[in-house]
């Protein structure tokens, strides 16, 4: 196992058909790439530990049934739980296009000012989102 990303599948029925998946990996973000409001709440180290939600997708035939939301909330819950053992201040995601970006923005992800297809959600907000 190369351990460059952990992949989680959503499967259905005895045939174990794959409905969707996501990947998680350890990552980091440069402090100065974050918006000033977020950066000023963090210690002044050059890199901020983060969890990368590398890819999340739902099979075309299964879209619109809230599986995307289920996968995203599961990914956020796993990221939060893992951050208790190995600190991570943010979840980051690379949206592949405008549609993907608007999906994440629904869940309060914000774009990095200089790389708008990379979005982030502070782990404190992940905790708040999961408490709702
Ligand atoms: C984006 C994607 C994961 C959404 O999955 P889904 O199962 O169809 O979405 P859900 O049914 O869980 O939708 C949950 C909510 O998000 C909304 N939504 C879904 N796709 C959206 C999009 N592209 N933009 C904005 N909102 C979106 C839904 O309308 C729903 O809103 P509601 O709470 O008002 O009802 C899916 O379309 C997909 O796999 N796309 C291709 C890959 C991709 O873009 N992945 C993300 C980035 S890598």
132 pLDDT higher than 90? no
Residue 81 zone, left/alpha/beta (φ > 0; ψ -120 to 50; rest): alpha
Q: Is the alpha carbon torsion for 123, 121, 37, 127 positive or negative?
A: negative
Yes or no: say if 36 and 19 are a contact pair by the CB < 8 Å rule: no
- Residue 1: the pLDDT is 83
Structure confidence at residue 85 as a pLDDT band (50, 70, 90): very high
The structure's pTM equals 0.95
> Which atom in ligand 1 lies closest to the alpha carbon of residue 63?
8
Tokens describing residue 38: 């977020």
State which ligand 1 atom lies nearest to the alpha carbon of 62: 7
Task: Tell which CATH classification among 3.90.320.10, 3.40.50.720, 3.40.50.300, 3.40.630.30 matches the domain 6-131.
Answer: 3.40.630.30
Question: What is the DSSP secondary-structure string of 14-76?
Answer: TTTEEEEEEEEEEEEEEGGGS-HHHHTTS-S-SEEEEEEEEEEEE-GGGTTSSHHHHHHHHHH
What is the best residue among 24, 63, 65, 121 to mutate for testing ligand 1's pocket, by most ligand atoms within 8 Å of CB?
Answer: 63
% of the chain with per-residue pLDDT over 90: 95
**Encoding tokens for residue 77?**
């819950």
Are the CB atoms for 76 and 126 separated by under 8 Å?
yes
Confidence tier at 123 by pLDDT (50, 70, 90):
very high
* Spans of all domains in the chain: 6-131
Q: Taking CB atoms and a 6 Å cutoff, what residues make up the pocket around ligand 1?
A: 55-58, 63-69, 95-96, 99-100, 102-103, 106
For the stretch 17-74, pLDDT in tens is 999 999 999 999 999 999 999 999 999 999 999 999 999 999 999 999 999 999 999 9
Residue nearest to atom 32 of ligand 1 (CA): 66
pLDDT above 90: residue 91: yes
């Amino acid at each position: 196992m190369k351990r460059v990303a952990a992949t989680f599948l959503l499967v259905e029925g005895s045939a174990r058909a794959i409905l969707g998946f996501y990947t998680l990996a350890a990552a980091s973000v440069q402090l100065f790439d974050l918006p000033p409001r977020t950066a000023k709440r963090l210690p002044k180290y050059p890199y901020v530990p983060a969890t990368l939600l590398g890819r999340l997708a739902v099979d075309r035939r299964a879209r619109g049934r809230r599986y995307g939301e289920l996968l995203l909330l599961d990914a956020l819950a796993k990221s939060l739980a893992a951050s208790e053992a190995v600190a991570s201040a943010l979840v980051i995601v690379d949206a592949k296009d405008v549609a993907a970006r608007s999906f994440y923005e629904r869940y309060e992800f914000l774009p990095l000012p200089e790389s708008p297809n990379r979005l982030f959600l502070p782990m404190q907000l992940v905790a708040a989102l999961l408490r709702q």
